[in-house]
Amino acid sequence: MELSSTDHEIINGVHGRAAADALQLVLKFAEAVGAPRLLPCASAHVDGCLYHGQASLDFVERFVALEGRVRVPTTLNVGSVDLIHPELFIGDAELGAAGKRLMEAHIELGCIPSFTCAPYQTLLRPKFGDQLAWAESNAIVFANSVIGARTNRYGDFIDLACALTGRVPDYGLHRSENRRAGAIIEIHGLDNAGPDQAGGIAVAAGLFIGEHCGDTIAAITGLPICTSEDDLKALGAAAASSGSVAMFHAVGLTPEAPDLLTATGGIDLPIAGRLGPADIAEILATLSTVPDGTALTAVALGTPHFSMSEFDRLMPMLDLAPFSVPVYVNTGRHEWDQLSAGGRAQALESAGVTVVVDTCTYVTSIIRDLSGAVMTNSGKWAYYAPGNLGVDAAFGTLADTLLSAKAGRVVRA
């Protein structure tokens, strides 16, 4: 390993025992992945603040005891409870207390209490070319693909170790030569699809890439011209859920793919899939485990966390209230503050919509009634919730979900 003067300072304890111990972990990780050196990182995003057992807490408490502090701006992923609305948690009290302590311990290390799976929607959005130490699968894909920042798929423990040292191993997607596409996905016949359809097309493309491309970077052609950043967010989340995707190129839409030639580096690549309207519909149908007309017990939105533009689309649909079933929307504190300041938080509450902050309804006990099916517009939620919560799921557009919430059963716009 080529060690810099900064590395030597950290190892020798100049920046404290916590940083020295954390760097030993980073160096061992770097050795395991064959990295020749470490790089300075601009920021970190820590996924390890979601409680998975006592080991989660022990690891962080050790660095708290050593008076550790993160060395770069470090945002936090979702935790196990909503610290702003603690009354929403209906799970085991002991687990809730441990999850709360884990979230607080990370704050004691100097992490920013963002508690969002979409840190790119905060004021700390990275810049093109920034080297990052990010965990949380959808955030990783978004940073690499939509922003053009650089991070590998870092996981629990190593994410915090990188944050405490400000160093990341120089390998994988930190290097330009590893960021070119290795396969092409062609979408045809949908260029002029409208905004309501674009999200579903993106989710279907993401699911296909995850299942068929593995960790190979795909260059996607033919996405609708109206594809938004929220749609690309949904694409990346679906791809990372169904596979080990860390990056994609949307030709003409993402910064490292102004055209197919740039995305591929001029290499002639295989076509890994051609998806038309019928293929998209067939893929999306796999996300619903119940047929249309099935009774619902809830609607769950915001996985990844709802952006302000998504709330802009949601607010006019509140005219459908009162709803027959509870509607839950997951979002971050950055968005919650704006909703509260603008009076929209009260409007959502008045319409019977529960805004969940700091966590997500598919990873913790918040939805009161899981005896029936839950409808969502999130490919990630629909993919994970049946296994995580033991619940049937129905997938649809945002309009579908609100109309279904009104009807109390699965209906389509």
Residues 216 and 211: their CA atoms lie apart, in Å, by 11
Q: What is the pLDDT of residues 34-65, one digit of tens each?
A: 999 999 999 999 999 999 999 999 999 999 99
Residue pLDDT, tens place only, 345-397: 999 999 999 999 999 999 999 999 999 999 999 999 999 999 999 999 999 99
What's the rounded mean pLDDT across residues 181-208? 96
pLDDT of residue 179: 98
296-407 to CATH, choices 3.30.499.10, 3.40.50.720, 3.30.410.40, 3.30.750.24: 3.30.499.10
Read off the pLDDT of residues 136-171 as tens digits, 9 standing for 90 and up.
999 999 999 999 999 999 999 999 999 999 999 999
Asked if CATH classification 3.30.499 holds for the domain at 5-176, the reply, yes or no, is: yes
Averaged pLDDT, 65-90: 98
Q: How far apart are CA 403 and CA 292, in angstroms?
A: 12
Domain borders along the chain are 5-176, 180-285, 296-407
| Mean of pLDDT over the chain | 97
Using the predicted structure, report yes or no on whether residue 413 has a pLDDT greater than 90. no
pLDDT band with cut points at 50, 70 and 90 for residue 120: very high
CB of 377 closer than 8 Å to CB of 300: no
Query: Rounded to whole angstroms, how far apart are CA atoms 91 and 102?
Result: 16
Residues 135/41, Cβ–Cβ less than 8 Å? no
Pairing state between β 43-46 and 132-134: parallel
- How far, in Å, are 42, 165, 274, 334, 391 from residue 338 at the CA level? 26, 33, 41, 7, 32
User: SS3 sequence, the chain?
Assistant: CECCHHHHHHHCCCCCHHHHHHHHHHHHHHHHHCCCEEEECCEEEECCCCCCCHHHHHHHHHHHHCCCCCCCCEEECCCCCCCCCHHHCCCCHHHHHHHHHHHHHHHHCCCECCCCCCHHHCCCCCCCCCEEEECCHHHHHHHHHHHCCECCCCCCCHHHHHHHHCEEECCHHHCHHHCCCCEEEEECCCCCCCHHHHHHHHHHHHHHHHHHHCCCCEEEECCCCCCCHHHHHHHHHHHHHHCCCCCEEECCCCCCCCCHHHHHCCCCCCEEEEECHHHHHHHHHCCCCCCCCCEEEEEEEEEEEECHHHHHHHHHHHHHCCCCCCEEEEECHHHHHHHHHCCHHHHHHHCCEEEEECCCCCCCCCCCCCCCEEEECCHHHHHHHHHHHCCCEEECCHHHHHHHHHHCECCCC
pLDDT at 83: 97
Can you give the pTM of this predicted structure?
Answer: 0.97
Residue 281 scores a pLDDT above 90: yes
- Please give the pLDDT value at position 319: 97
Q: What is the pLDDT of residues 249-266, one digit of tens each?
A: 999 999 999 999 999 999
